[in-house]
């Protein structure tokens, strides 16, 4: 069975018009329906989710601190708690933007590269990252607030 | 919490009362319960200084123990927080975990079921001497450390250590701490193998392991003891019946008539045990048949030769006396004496008249005188003759009487063992007066022979009977035991049924709050695993007992355990373990987990890192792990933790190195941020200030907890103070003065610690977050680091 073939953008060179939401939809499709000729789908899927994470962060930084987008992920993750909006009151203790981003980045950074001894991520892991990045994207798309007041 | 802190024994005793369990049954349950673990609890005196207080670990030291050669100490921060000890397999890290568990609990779950050869290798190969463990702890309200020490003499076995704790400079018995019950209930130690045992292996084992984790060992032990007793009672109650065919077989082959009687008695549905016991005891063979006849033969009493001879002599003497009377007729003499007496009487009225009999001689005085003398003489002669005759008759009678009437037994058939004919004939000729002593002796020979024969036969029979009589007696005893066992068996059955019913109630009551926490932990651990954990219950009893985990996969119910991966099973085990060890009733503020990561996939490791970090908010969590995955997850997820790395050189030289802690991490991040040229300096300054403040706060928290808990300040008070310290200023004051009231002296004290550089760092961390700073950020990070070092002393 042949579904619509999703574009598999190369890491770091996404066309600017692709939104994180669109990327997540593609990733979800990869997770739920088999795609012909794409034997490496777990890694492909991880790449798409990772891209969604980066796009989501870039879009966020563009609004509050454009320079941050130029920094490494370590710095971005350190800056995030200073700028990110607070999570909804009823969410888990680690449902803040920084925790979500850290968890997704930790998994995706590893999965999107080829490691000799490491197996491709499982559907469960991919689903988890997809969920985490989706949550983060929603959170970061909310109205940003004054960085200093969070401290 | 409720019942969680209450002992199982207490609950069972109470329910025994409310359920009105019959006394005999209740006693069985109580003694089964006390026979096991309960007894140890009872022997433990109430701790001299009240209930156990909340305790934390300050350090674990080991020497000459397992993988550890020369003495090594793992310092730990008392109070909540996560400490990770990483080291390769064989680095000695597990030895540290085991050492702590062994010193406090006296055992190690990982060893308990191992073969002796495994337990014997507990001494370090390279440095077997000295072997010692010390666990340094803080206790609420207790000034200074409590050091639990376990020390072995040079030739001591694992179980022969001296265990004590030092307080006030003197050793005390560890039992005085009152820890054994809480250790059983809340068990703050968990090893990988225990996690594995939880979910792999036989369903009943998992059930028992979970019961143990729920602190319900006592229920298992009691049930096991009762089951054992029931098994024993059951086989005892059947023992007699089982032995019966063999006994009957032996009896059937036995010639003794008692064997027949025994066979008959044993044929009854309810054999008369008293009668059988009498038969078994019947060594004197009074039970009839030939034996009884033979016994009568044996019992015949023949006069002995001397008696017979004496009787003959008496007859001889009497005869001689009669002969000596020489034919004197006593009757003539008596008649004549009588005639003369009548004549004298007649004469007294007819004095000097002629004799009325012959009409001749006048009966004058001379006649009367002579006649009176004759009467006396004649009477004496008559008496003498009479006596001789009487004696002769008496002597003959006595002789005749010596031989009793012929016993009837000599006239009956005595079977093949003895023939009475000859004796009987001889007896007929035993008419003594007509015999001589010699003839008597000849005649009684066959009788004596018969008697001897009878006695011999009887003796032989008794000897032949005795062994089987013994067996019969033993059987009777078994039968009596069996009867008692049958009664006991019924009671034991009732006891088990009751205990299982109550056990189920207690278990599920106790399980409910844990199950809820377990589900929460599992939710955190499972990440996006499609396995969902529903209510957990313990079900079934006896060999059918099992853990019912309501696990669904993609919403489908099924034999979930079977399809879960090993990593998931371990995660599940952890989800089941954590709620108990973190129960509020536990006096142990710490929790030691050995290698929870094995066979977990990376996503689970992330989940585990979160779970551990969550637990570490309220507990001191010490986690030993054999690889870097957990440490890296914790680092990358930015979860606060202190990380130690264990390495082991040759000859068991183990070294510990602190590779990460919250202070270091804040400082590293601050440095990285300070270097990030892409960012406007104001942004960098604010971010670096936030991280420097984090480093200082982390250092202060460490100092505050360490100092105050060691000083015996109750943990709750310490945490309350930390919570109320809203600003870095307060936190610093708390660290330096123990209270937040020293605002004005604070700067001076900071200066004392590290000069103006420290004051700058402190002010920057305080204000820079809000204001940013103009200055050398890198320099400020270095100054902050210097201050943290000075703070930690």
A103 contacts B606? CB cut-off 8 A: yes
The average pLDDT across B729-757 equals 88
Q: How far apart are the first and last CA of chain A?
A: 53
DSSP B596: -
User: Does residue A58 surpass a pLDDT of 80?
Assistant: yes
> Measuring CA to CA, how many Å separate B695 from each of B82, B640, B668?
16, 11, 10
The average pLDDT across B126-133 equals 87
Write out pLDDT tens, residues B466-482: 888 888 888 888 888 88
pLDDT at B47: 56
The average pLDDT across B72-101 equals 89
pLDDT at A38: 58
pLDDT at B400: 80
The answer to whether B611 touches B78, Cβ cutoff 8 Å, is no
Rg, C-alpha atoms of chain B: 54
Measured CA to CA, the distance from residue B45 to residue B40 in angstroms comes to 10
Which two tokens mark A147? 């960085």
pLDDT at B772: 62
Contacts of A125 in chain B (CB under 8 A): 527-528, 601-603
The proportion of chain B whose per-residue pLDDT surpasses 90, expressed as a percent, equals 14
Measured CA to CA, the distance from residue B697 to residue B165 in angstroms comes to 34
Question: What is the ipTM, given to two decimal places?
Answer: 0.75
B770 contacts A151? CB cut-off 8 A: yes
Work out the widest C-alpha separation in chain B, in whole angstroms: 200
The average pLDDT across B577-605 equals 80
Measured CA to CA, the distance from residue B379 to residue B507 in angstroms comes to 118
SS3 B591: strand
pLDDT at B354: 85
Residues with Cβ within 8 Å of B279's Cβ and at least 6 positions away in sequence, in order, are B258, B261, B262, B265, B287, B469, B472
Strand partners, B72: B62
Measured CA to CA, the distance from residue B548 to residue B408 in angstroms comes to 85
Measured CA to CA, the distance from residue B76 to residue B710 in angstroms comes to 12
A151 contacts B687? CB cut-off 8 A: no
Most confident of A113-122, A142-151, B402-411, B724-733: B724-733
Q: Which of B530, B602, B690 sits opposite A151 (nearest CB)?
A: B690
User: Does residue A145 surpass a pLDDT of 60?
Assistant: no
Three-state SS annotation for B518-555: HHHHHHHHHCCCCEEEEEEEEECCHHHCEEEEEEEECC
DSSP A70: G
User: Does residue B89 surpass a pLDDT of 70?
Assistant: yes
Write out pLDDT tens, residues B746-779: 999 999 998 999 999 999 888 876 666 667 889 9
Backbone φ and ψ for B687, nearest 5 degrees, come out as -65, -45
pLDDT at B622: 95
Q: How confident is the model at residue B313 (pLDDT cuts 50, 70, 90)?
A: confident
Cα atoms in the 13 Å half-sphere on the side-chain side of B573 = 30
Q: Which of A71, A103, A124 sits opposite B678 (nearest CB)?
A: A71
Measured CA to CA, the distance from residue B476 to residue B707 in angstroms comes to 75
The proportion of chain A whose per-residue pLDDT surpasses 90, expressed as a percent, equals 31
The average pLDDT across A31-45 equals 73
The chain-wide mean pLDDT, for chain B, equals 82
A78 contacts B679? CB cut-off 8 A: no
Measured in whole angstroms, the distance separating CA A8 from the mean position of its chain's CA atoms is: 15
Measured CA to CA, the distance from residue B170 to residue B662 in angstroms comes to 37
> Position of tokens 């460490």?
B702
Measured CA to CA, the distance from residue B608 to residue B630 in angstroms comes to 8
CB contacts < 8 Å between A and B, how many?
A: 79
Task: Say whether the peptide bond before residue B165 is cis (omega within 30 degrees of 0).
Answer: no
Measured CA to CA, the distance from residue B401 to residue B417 in angstroms comes to 31
Write out pLDDT tens, residues B670-680: 999 999 888 88
List residues in chain B touching A: CB distance below 8 A: 527-530, 601-603, 606, 610, 614, 633, 636-638, 669, 672-673, 676, 678-680, 683, 686-687, 690-691, 769-770
The answer to whether B28 touches B12, Cβ cutoff 8 Å, is no
Contacts of B627 in chain A (CB under 8 A): none
The average pLDDT across B297-311 equals 83
B601 contacts A79? CB cut-off 8 A: no
| Strands of the sheet with B162-167, listed across from one edge | B72-75, B55-63, B131-139, B142-152, B162-167, B170-173
User: Does residue B262 surpass a pLDDT of 60?
Assistant: yes
Classify residue B252 by burial, with Cβ atoms within 10 Å: 0-12, 13-18, 19+: exposed
User: Does residue A14 surpass a pLDDT of 50?
Assistant: no
Q: Which of B530, B637, B673 sits opposite A106 (nearest CB)?
A: B637
What dihedral do alpha carbons B754, B756, B759, B764 form, nearest 10°? -120
Three-state SS annotation for B550-583: EEEECCEECCHHHHCCHHHHHHHHHHHHHHHHCC
Instruction: Find, among B115, B99, B116, the residue nearest to B107 by Cα.
Output: B99
**Cβ-based neighbour number of residue B749 at 10 Å:** 15
pLDDT at B42: 40
The answer to whether B198 touches B573, Cβ cutoff 8 Å, is yes
Q: Which of B51-65, B248-262, B549-563 has the lowest mean pLDDT?
A: B549-563
B676 contacts A75? CB cut-off 8 A: yes
- Quote the pTM value: 0.62
B669 contacts A74? CB cut-off 8 A: yes
Cα atoms in the 13 Å half-sphere on the side-chain side of B134 = 17
A148 contacts B602? CB cut-off 8 A: no
A127 contacts B602? CB cut-off 8 A: no
Where is pLDDT greater, at B72 or B9?
B72
Q: How far apart are the first and last CA of chain B?
A: 40
The answer to whether B145 touches B154, Cβ cutoff 8 Å, is no
**Cβ-based neighbour number of residue B548 at 10 Å:** 14
User: Does residue A98 surpass a pLDDT of 80?
Assistant: yes
Instruction: Find, among B556, B466, B599, the residue nearest to B608 by Cα.
Output: B599
The answer to whether B81 touches B620, Cβ cutoff 8 Å, is yes
User: Does residue B3 surpass a pLDDT of 50?
Assistant: no
pLDDT at B591: 93
The answer to whether B257 touches B242, Cβ cutoff 8 Å, is no
The average pLDDT across B332-348 equals 86
Where is pLDDT greater, at B416 or B148?
B148
pLDDT at B209: 62
Q: Which of A67, A82, A121 sits opposite B686 (nearest CB)?
A: A82
> Measuring CA to CA, how many Å separate B484 from each of B276, B490, B520, B660?
18, 10, 53, 69
> Measuring CA to CA, how many Å separate A62 from each of A65, A73, A147, B501, B714?
6, 15, 14, 66, 50
Measured CA to CA, the distance from residue B541 to residue B97 in angstroms comes to 34
Q: Which of B193-202, B437-446, B482-491, B756-765 has the lowest mean pLDDT?
A: B193-202
Work out the widest C-alpha separation in chain A, in whole angstroms: 53
The average pLDDT across B53-66 equals 92
Q: How confident is the model at residue B704 (pLDDT cuts 50, 70, 90)?
A: very high
The average pLDDT across B194-205 equals 68
User: Does residue A7 surpass a pLDDT of 60?
Assistant: no
Where is pLDDT greater, at A115 or B284?
A115
Contacts of A82 in chain B (CB under 8 A): 686-687, 690
Contacts of A72 in chain B (CB under 8 A): 676
> Measuring CA to CA, how many Å separate B577 from each of B110, B188, B619?
16, 9, 14
The proportion of chain B whose per-residue pLDDT surpasses 70, expressed as a percent, equals 89
Write out pLDDT tens, residues B227-244: 888 888 888 888 888 888
């Amino acid at each position: 069975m042949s579904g619509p073939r999703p574009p598999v953008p190369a890491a770091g060179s996404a066309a600017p018009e692709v939104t994180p939401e669109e990327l997540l939809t593609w990733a979800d499709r990869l997770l739920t329906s088999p795609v012909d000729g794409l034997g490496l789908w777990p890694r492909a899927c991880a790449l798409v989710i990772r891209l969604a994470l980066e796009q989501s962060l870039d879009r966020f930084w563009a609004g509050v601190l454009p320079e941050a987008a130029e920094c490494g992920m370590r710095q971005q993750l350190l800056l995030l708690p200073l700028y990110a909006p607070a999570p909804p009151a009823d969410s888990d203790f680690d449902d803040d933007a920084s925790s979500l981003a850290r968890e997704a980045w930790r998994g995706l950074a590893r999965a999107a590269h080829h490691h000799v001894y490491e197996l491709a991520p499982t559907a469960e892991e991919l689903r988890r990252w997809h969920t985490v990045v989706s949550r983060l994207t929603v959170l970061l798309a909310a109205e940003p607030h004054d960085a200093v007041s969070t401290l | 919490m409720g019942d969680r802190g209450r002992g199982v024994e207490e609950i069972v005793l109470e329910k025994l009362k409310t359920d009105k369990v019959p006394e005999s049954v209740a006693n069985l349950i109580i003694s089964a319960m006390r026979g096991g673990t309960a007894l140890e609890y009872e022997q433990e005196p109430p701790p001299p200084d009240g209930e156990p207080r909340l305790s934390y670990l300050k350090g674990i030291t080991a020497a000459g123990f397992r993988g550890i050669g020369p003495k090594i100490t793992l310092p730990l921060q008392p109070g909540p927080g996560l400490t990770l000890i990483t080291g390769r397999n064989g680095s000695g890290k597990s030895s540290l975990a085991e050492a702590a568990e062994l010193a406090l609990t006296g055992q190690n779950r990982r060893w308990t079921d191992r073969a002796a050869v495994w337990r014997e290798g507990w001494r370090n190969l390279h440095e077997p001497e000295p072997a010692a463990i010390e666990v340094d702890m803080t206790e609420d309200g207790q000034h200074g450390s409590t050091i639990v020490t376990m020390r072995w003499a040079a030739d001591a076995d694992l179980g022969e250590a001296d265990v004590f704790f030092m307080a006030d400079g003197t050793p005390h018995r560890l039992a005085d701490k009152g820890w054994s019950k809480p250790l059983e209930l809340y068990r703050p130690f968990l090893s990988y193998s225990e996690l594995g045992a939880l979910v792999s292996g036989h369903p009943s084992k998992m059930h028992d392991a979970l019961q143990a984790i729920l602190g319900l060992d006592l229920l298992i032990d009691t049930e096991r003891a009762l089951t054992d007793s029931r098994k024993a009672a059951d086989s005892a109650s059947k023992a007699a019946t089982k032995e019966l065919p063999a006994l009957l077989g032996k009896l059937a082959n036995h010639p003794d008539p008692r064997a027949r009687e025994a066979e008959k008695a044993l044929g009854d549905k309810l054999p008369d045990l008293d009668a059988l016991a009498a038969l078994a005891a019947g060594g004197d063979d009074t039970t009839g048949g030939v034996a009884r006849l033979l016994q009568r033969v044996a019992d015949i009493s023949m006069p002995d030769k001397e008696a017979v001879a004496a009787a003959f002599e008496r007859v001889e003497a009497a005869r001689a006396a009669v002969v000596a009377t020489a034919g004197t007729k006593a009757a003539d003499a008596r008649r004549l004496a009588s005639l003369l007496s009548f004549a004298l009487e007649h004469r007294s009225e007819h004095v000097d008249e002629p004799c009325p009999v012959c009409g001749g001689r006048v009966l004058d005085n001379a006649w009367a005188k002579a006649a009176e003398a004759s009467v006396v003489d004649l009477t004496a002669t008559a008496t003498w003759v009479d006596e001789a005759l009487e004696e002769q008759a008496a002597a003959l009678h006595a002789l005749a009487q010596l031989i009793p009437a012929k016993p009837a037994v000599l006239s009956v058939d005595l079977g093949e063992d003895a023939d009475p004919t000859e004796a009987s004939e001889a007896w007929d000729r035993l008419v003594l007066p007509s015999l001589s002593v010699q003839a008597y002796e000849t005649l009684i020979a066959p009788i004596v022979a018969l008697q001897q024969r009878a006695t011999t036969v009887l003796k032989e029979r008794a000897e032949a009977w005795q062994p089987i009589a013994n067996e019969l007696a033993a059987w009777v005893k078994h039968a009596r035991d069996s009867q008692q066992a049958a009664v006991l068996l019924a009671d034991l059955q009732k006891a088990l049924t009751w205990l299982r019913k109550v056990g189920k109630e207690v278990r599920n009551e106790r399980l409910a709050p844990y199950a809820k926490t377990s589900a929460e932990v599992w939710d955190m651990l499972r990440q996006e695993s499609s396995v969902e954990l529903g209510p957990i219950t313990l079900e079934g009893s006896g060999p059918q007992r099992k853990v019912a985990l309501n696990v669904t996969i993609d919403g489908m119910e099924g034999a979930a355990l079977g399809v879960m991966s090993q990593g998931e099973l371990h995660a599940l085990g952890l989800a089941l373990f954590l709620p108990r060890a973190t129960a509020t009733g536990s006096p142990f503020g710490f929790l030691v987990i050995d290698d929870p990561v094995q066979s977990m996939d990376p996503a689970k490791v992330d989940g585990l890192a979160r779970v551990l970090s969550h637990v570490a908010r309220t507990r001191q969590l010490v986690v030993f792990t054999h690889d870097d995955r957990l440490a890296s997850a914790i680092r990358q997820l930015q979860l606060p933790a202190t990380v130690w790395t264990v390495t082991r050189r040759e000859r068991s030289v183990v070294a510990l190195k602190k590779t990460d802690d919250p202070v270091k991490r804040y400082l590293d991040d601050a440095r990285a941020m300070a270097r990030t040229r892409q960012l406007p300096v104001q942004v960098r300054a604010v971010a670096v200030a936030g991280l420097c403040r984090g480093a200082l706060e982390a250092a202060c928290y460490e100092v505050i907890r360490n100092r105050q808990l060691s000083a015996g300040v109750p943990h709750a008070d310490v945490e309350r103070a930390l919570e109320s310290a809203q600003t870095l200023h307060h936190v610093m004051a708390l660290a330096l003065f123990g209270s937040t009231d020293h605002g004005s002296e604070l700067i001076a004290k900071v200066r004392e610690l590290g000069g103006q550089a420290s004051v700058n760092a402190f002010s920057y961390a305080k204000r820079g977050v809000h204001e940013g700073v103009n200055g050398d950020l890198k320099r400020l990070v270095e100054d902050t680091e210097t201050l943290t070092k000075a703070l930690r002393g």
